[in-house]
Chain A
Amino acid sequence: MPTLLIADDSMFQRFQAAKTAAEAGFEVLEAKNGEECLTQARAHHPDVVLLDLNMPDPAGLTVMDILAKELPGIRIMVLTADIQETTRQRCLALGAVGFLNKPVDQQALGEALRALL
């Protein structure tokens, strides 16, 4: 079963995404900040990381940078409330395989995650 690591400081977002991911056939791991995300990614090598950007310790873009160096094959789907075009461009330049804005339709999220497999 593929593994999805959900990294978001919002319990509400983790709750919603975990439900969607489980229905899409993923085993789900969760992280509530950047440090937990890195710890989980290093320990479990998830197939996909669903990554929030505006979270603490460290923020999502720093996490992306670190993961790109340490785990270059890891696929990162960004899910963020930040609608700035510059943010989207930066994430894609850092290698994100997808960029979704919140609020996300859960069906669309499930389809986007399944499409990565």
Chain B
Amino acid sequence: MPLSPLQLDILQELINIGVGRAAGMLNQMVNTHIQLQVPVLRVLTPPQLEELYASRMDTVFSAVQLSFTGEFAGISALIFPPESASKLVSVILGRDEIPGQDNQLRSSTLQEVGNIVLNGVMGSIANILKEPLRYSPPDFVEDDIATIVGSVTGMILVARTQFSMRDHLIEGEVLILFSLSSFDSLLAAIDNLAGE
């Protein structure tokens, strides 16, 4: 693991804060408490990442991907199992669904939820580290986990947080993949924060 204990601790806390901010935004959208699990950070190879999802490799998930670049780069994703995705859309749209445009509005709604949540996570981290990020427009996909995480090569730093909305039986997770090619910049920013 190329991070010191202090660096890991700080990065963990940054992700905690980012996910907390995102949970607040999600709470506003669905008007229900968001239960968060503690984020888990690991450095993995792509096969090891796939191993995390081995028991669900054939499952089709609904996901929003937001790529980010700047001093550090990677992909963030908000991932829902299909039943949770449908329930979330129903909660957000309530009675405002437009008949005849359900599929388009459904995917658009999920895409925007992902956009907001992932911006909440990454923007919080960027604000604290004072390292601006640039984003590509969010992508909505319905596919297996291997496709969602994309064709990453080399080692990746994976931050994974699961969350649930008990009132609506909705669960999902936030996944952040940091490209290790930009790792030095990420660590430098963390070291600056630590005052080292």
**Chain A residues within 8 Å of B, Cβ to Cβ:** 9-13, 15, 19, 54-56, 80-87, 102-103, 105
Q: Give the residues in chain A near B112, CB-CB below 8 Å.
A: 10, 12-13, 81, 102
CB atoms of B135 and A82 under 8 A apart: yes
Distance between Cα atoms of A98 and B70 in the complex (Å): 26
Closest Cβ of chain B to A77, distance in Å, is 17
The answer to whether B126 touches A84 (Cβ under 8 A) is yes
Among B29, B108, B116, B138, the residue within 8 A (CB) of A11 is B108
Residue in chain B with minimal CB distance to A14: B108
Expressed in whole angstroms, the minimum distance between the Cβ of A78 and any Cβ of chain B is 13
B172 contacts across to A, CB distance below 8 A: none
A-B contact count (CB 8 A): 63
Across the interface, B137 reaches (CB within 8 A) one of A19, A56, A102, namely A56
Contacts of A15 in B (CB 8 A): 96, 98, 105
Chain B 94-130: CB-based contact to A (< 8 A → 1; otherwise 0): 0010100100110011011001101110011011000
CB-based nearest A residue for B125 = A84
**Which residues of chain B are within 8 angstroms of A11 by Cβ–Cβ distance?**
101, 104-105, 108
Q: Are A103 and B126 in contact (CB under 8 A)?
A: no
Q: Are the C-beta atoms of A12 and B123 separated by less than 8 Å?
A: no
What are 28 A-B residue pairs whose CB atoms fall within 8 Å in the complex?
A10-B108, A10-B112, A10-B115, A11-B105, A11-B108, A12-B105, A12-B108, A13-B112, A15-B98, A19-B96, A54-B135, A54-B136, A54-B138, A81-B112, A81-B115, A81-B123, A83-B21, A83-B120, A84-B127, A85-B127, A86-B126, A87-B132, A102-B112, A102-B116, A102-B119, A103-B25, A103-B28, A103-B29
